[in-house]
Amino acid sequence: MSTAALPADFLQAITEGFPVDFLTREPGELQEYGRDWTRVYTPAPAAVALPRTTDEVSRLLALCHQHHIAVVPSGGRTGLAGGAVAARGELVLSLQRMTRMGPVDLLGNTVRVQAGAVTEAVHHHCAEHGLTWPVDFASKGSSTVGGNIATNAGGVKVIRYGLTRQWVLGLQVVTAQGEVLELNGALEKNNTGTDLRQLFIGSEGTLGVITEATLKLTQLPGKQDVFLFAVPDVAAVLRLFRDARRQNAFSISAYEFFTDRCMARLGRHRKLRPPFETPSECYVLLEAEAKDAAAVEGWLGSLFERELVTDGVQAQGAAQAAELWALREGISESLSATGLPHKNDISLPVAGLEAFCAELEAIFSARYPGWEICLFGHIGDGNLHVNVMKPDAMDKAEFLAHTKQADPTMFALVQKHGGSISAEHGVGLLKKDYLGYSRAPAELALLRTLKRALDPRGILNPGKVVDA
Amino acid sequence: MKILVTAKRVEDPESKIKVKPDGSGIVQEGLKYKINPFDEIGVEEGLRLVAKHQGEVVVVSIGGKEVQEQLRHALAMGAHRAVWVNHTGPVDQLGIAALLQKVVEKEQPDLVILGKQSIDDDQNQVGQYLAEFLGWGQATFASKVESMESEQEKNKVPAIVLTADKKSVQVIREVDNGLATVECQLPAVVTTDLRLNQPRYASLPGIMKAKSKPIEELTPAKLSVDVTPAIQVLKMSSPPARKAGIKVADVPALVEKLHNEAKVV
Ligand SMILES: Cc1cc2nc3c(=O)[nH]c(=O)nc-3n(C[C@H](O)[C@H](O)[C@H](O)COP(=O)(O)OP(=O)(O)OC[C@H]3O[C@@H](n4cnc5c(N)ncnc54)[C@H](O)[C@@H]3O)c2cc1C
Ligand SMILES: Cc1cc2nc3c(=O)[nH]c(=O)nc-3n(C[C@H](O)[C@H](O)[C@H](O)COP(=O)(O)OP(=O)(O)OC[C@H]3O[C@@H](n4cnc5c(N)ncnc54)[C@H](O)[C@@H]3O)c2cc1C
């Protein structure tokens, strides 16, 4: 936990081979860089390295390999699985100084960026050319391209664009031994055997450090309409989704849901006004691009006649659209600001959601009778964020012990319905013990083999995802 | 009571506004439009007043046929009917006020609510001209009233208060070092400030209903108003571009620049 954890000859080599400001051991910084968005582990890194170039990353990793020093790759630290947590005297390797963005290639619709570039900065960089990198969620102002790729991040536009994986053409990765790999360049097509780039996407810093990426871009979407609907329950959320999905009058770019409990926390934290006079148990945010305005109007009118919704509003202008989005995107932050949430991020096959949700209720009342559970998520992707809030009177340790006991029951249900125990947040430290609910023993064995092959000394993010 | 509220069509402040290279106006292509935010506040206030005292909110907009979008928006919020003065071409604040005067004479409202200014031309004149033309009292820049009620309840209550005899209206306006309460006899002209209220969302049922609410069409000719402008805009230009920032190596370098170049320390 202190500098003593780093051998003197290693420190000597750093002093001799790297800029003076390469390493920091200032206690405030160690606190800051030692954790991600999760607040479960006490940060305790030995030091933070802040390289500016791939060459520095490469030489640093070679040195760490030589000295058996554990390294935690670190981006914007907005991760929700504890993947970027350094609680055991590791060296944090922050990509924060590697933010360069190359020119946008307007013929290929690509851009080459360093891994520390902030997601939203990439958006601004490309928007001038009418293009975007469609990886989009509430933490985009802090999360980095490297972190997005390392977690294969999802977000609010997955229903239209898919996951981060779909939007990465090429990767530059530094291996545990310090070797620099250039994978796939800027090629759309390259069937020359197993695509190694895919190994690193979603590997959460356990197989290599991403230093640069060639991103695939797409046209900025046209005019979007934003609606918020009030519906009586989760079953109604799914009924409306089934109906919306069948329409040809518009294409859906987001279908998000949240419960009134989330709204109440938002109200307390941000003083956001509820859009409806009468509260409802569930709300749906629909963002859609109209192809046939008259047909969209017809559909909207029919929602009331067919009792698919009980109320609804349509944003008039960009400011109101942003206000409605703030209701959905502010939830994660408001839950953490007003209490301690125990987060689960699960996914189910969309067709199985209804049956799953019906059984989930039973688990809640058995395991958490009378507790506050805040549900929200990218329901259009079959993705639910389940947030169990710590009762105010309970202490943190007891709360964590309780949720730890209750989780397996829910995960068993997820498994039964063919779902995943981590939809988009990754495994990190938080979900590691439960990986068996989503991955078969033979798969886990293969993951371990891969880890040993790529990182024989186990220096890259040890203890995260799987143990070698 | 009957309340007339104006609803001007303005550029959505979220869209990027560029001045034409020849300075003759702004580039219209690709712009989004919305109801002037001050007018939206006016519609909200009108709706709260009639919710409390019964009556009718009539919205009026002057412009080409595209201003019907803003009228529909006000109708979707809950306004009862609309008046559209169809006019394409130049018009200044005096012309707008003269047209509104005729509409007011026709409609005979108890109260006219306008925005204190448009966010595009930023003139802050029409409300005052209108009161003068009509010979009515005016209370400009209506701001929030103090209230001991809960946030939820406060949200529904109008900030413009009718006196007990319903013959006059009390309005709180923000002044330099506090709040001033003014009272004027009805009928009166009130203009809205930004903090007066937070306009409601247009509900989907409201949007549906708005489609069948009537919009009456008038023209300057029908109202016998000559709108030939007395004011002519000679040239528009963008504010000077801001100089790019610079990075300094460390604090001493910063202090040196602040001292020698900016001369502020
Ligand atoms: C308010 C909020 C909303 C969110 N919404 C969503 C959402 O909708 N969808 C979603 O998918 N996620 C969401 N997240 C989670 C998070 O933002 C994403 O996982 C994001 O991709 C993490 O990026 P980061 O740069 O912050 O990574 P970090 O948290 O710094 O790291 C995440 C993982 O990637 C590894 N890593 C980071 N950089 C590199 C690199 N260059 N090379 C190798 N490994 C690296 C780390 O070791 C760690 O394991 C949300 C988070 C918050 C706080
Ligand atoms: C490029 C450009 C083109 C224009 N083309 C036309 C056109 O073709 N036809 C046309 O009629 N006008 C047109 N106008 C608008 C017209 O010039 C202004 O409405 C008028 O000069 C009043 O000025 P103001 O809005 O700055 O007054 P302010 O005194 O700032 O306005 C105060 C209040 O008056 C009310 N008000 C002002 N204008 C109107 C309106 N038009 N309808 C309803 N309420 C209003 C609003 O409540 C507003 O909040 C155009 C303006 C611009 C900038």
Which helix H or strand E contains A357, and what residues bound it? helix A353-367
List of chain A residues with pLDDT < 50: 1-3
User: How far apart, in whole angstroms, are the C-alpha atoms of residue B92 and residue B99?
Assistant: 11
Residues in A closer than 8 angstroms to B202, CB to CB, are: 313-314, 316
pLDDT averaged per 10 residues, chain B (length 265): 96 84 85 92 94 94 96 96 96 96 97 94 93 95 58 62 83 84 91 89 91 95 94 86 83 91 85
The nearest CA of chain A is from the CA of B204 a distance in Å of 5
pLDDT tens for B161-196 read 887 778 888 888 888 888 888 888 999 999 999 888
* pLDDT for position B156: 60
* pLDDT for position A39: 84
Burial class (CB in 10 A: 0-12, 13-18, 19+), B144: middle
Cα first-last separation, chain B: 60
Token pair for A388: 């169990």
Which helix H or strand E contains A376, and what residues bound it? strand A373-377
User: How far apart, in whole angstroms, are the C-alpha atoms of residue A314 and residue A374?
Assistant: 24
- Strands (E) located in A134-276: 168-174, 180-183, 209-216, 218-219, 225-231, 250-259
DSSP 8-state class, residue B52 = H
Q: Chain B 111-150, CB below 8 Å of chain A: which residues?
A: none
Token pair for A27: 């206690």
**Chain A: residue whose CA lies nearest to B34:** A317
- Which candidate, B205, B38, B212, places its Cα nearest to that of A227? B205
User: How far apart, in whole angstroms, are the C-alpha atoms of residue A229 and residue A308?
Assistant: 9
Token pair for A63: 């040195």
Q: What are phi and psi of B195, to 5 degrees?
A: -90, 5
* pLDDT for position B153: 52
- Which candidate, A333, A443, A377, places its Cα nearest to that of A154? A377
- Whether B165 maps to a domain, the answer reads yes
Beta strands B81-86 and B215-218 are: parallel
User: How far apart, in whole angstroms, are the C-alpha atoms of residue A219 and residue A289?
Assistant: 14
| Count of residues making up chain A | 468
Q: A268-297 in b/e burial notation, b at 16+ Cβ within 10 A?
A: ebeebbbbbeeebbbbbbbbbebeeeeebb
Q: Count CB atoms within 10 A of the CB of residue A187.
A: 14
* pLDDT for position A3: 46
H helical segments located in A207-288:
234-245, 260-270
* pLDDT for position B157: 64
User: How far apart, in whole angstroms, are the C-alpha atoms of residue A161 and residue A171?
Assistant: 20
Query: Which amino acid is it at B191?
Result: T
* pLDDT for position A21: 96
Residues in A closer than 8 angstroms to B205, CB to CB, are: 304, 311-312
DSSP 8-state class, residue B106 = H
Can you list the domains of chain A with their CATH numbers?
3-97 (3.30.43.10), 110-219 (3.30.465.10), 225-332 (3.30.70.2190), 339-437 (3.30.70.2740)
- Ligand 2 and B95: CB distance under 6 A: no
User: How far apart, in whole angstroms, are the C-alpha atoms of residue B189 and residue B140?
Assistant: 8
- Whether B247 maps to a domain, the answer reads no
User: How far apart, in whole angstroms, are the C-alpha atoms of residue A436 and residue A417?
Assistant: 15
User: Residue B60: which domain range?
Assistant: 2-237
Please tell me whether the peptide bond between B187 and the residue prior to it is cis, using omega within 30 degrees of 0.
yes
- Whether B86 maps to a domain, the answer reads yes
Residues in B closer than 8 angstroms to A244, CB to CB, are: none
- Ligand 2 and B91: CB distance under 6 A: yes
Q: How many domains does chain B have?
A: 1
Dihedral Cα B9, B15, B21, B24, nearest 10 deg: 10
Nearest-atom index, ligand 1, CA of A95: 41
Nearest-atom index, ligand 2, CA of B123: 30
Query: Which amino acid is it at B142?
Result: A
* pLDDT for position A1: 41
pLDDT tens for A435-463 read 999 999 999 999 999 999 999 999 999 99
Token pair for B210: 């708005």
The answer to whether A38 and A430 have CB atoms below 8 angstroms apart is yes
Token pair for A235: 């079953």
- Whether B19 maps to a domain, the answer reads yes
Residue B205, domain CATH: 3.40.50.620
- Which candidate, A92, A145, A152, places its Cα nearest to that of A425? A152
The nearest CA of chain B is from the CA of A277 a distance in Å of 9
- Whether B11 maps to a domain, the answer reads yes
Q: B108-140 in b/e burial notation, b at 16+ Cβ within 10 A?
A: ebbbbbbbbbbbebeebbbbbbbbebbebbbbb
- Whether B150 maps to a domain, the answer reads yes
User: How far apart, in whole angstroms, are the C-alpha atoms of residue A410 and residue B31?
Assistant: 50
* pLDDT for position B147: 38
- Whether B248 maps to a domain, the answer reads no
H helical segments located in B54-112:
68-77, 93-107
Token pair for A123: 């958006």
- Whether B144 maps to a domain, the answer reads yes
Query: B201 in contact with A at a CB cutoff of 8 Å?
Result: yes
User: How far apart, in whole angstroms, are the C-alpha atoms of residue A420 and residue A436?
Assistant: 10
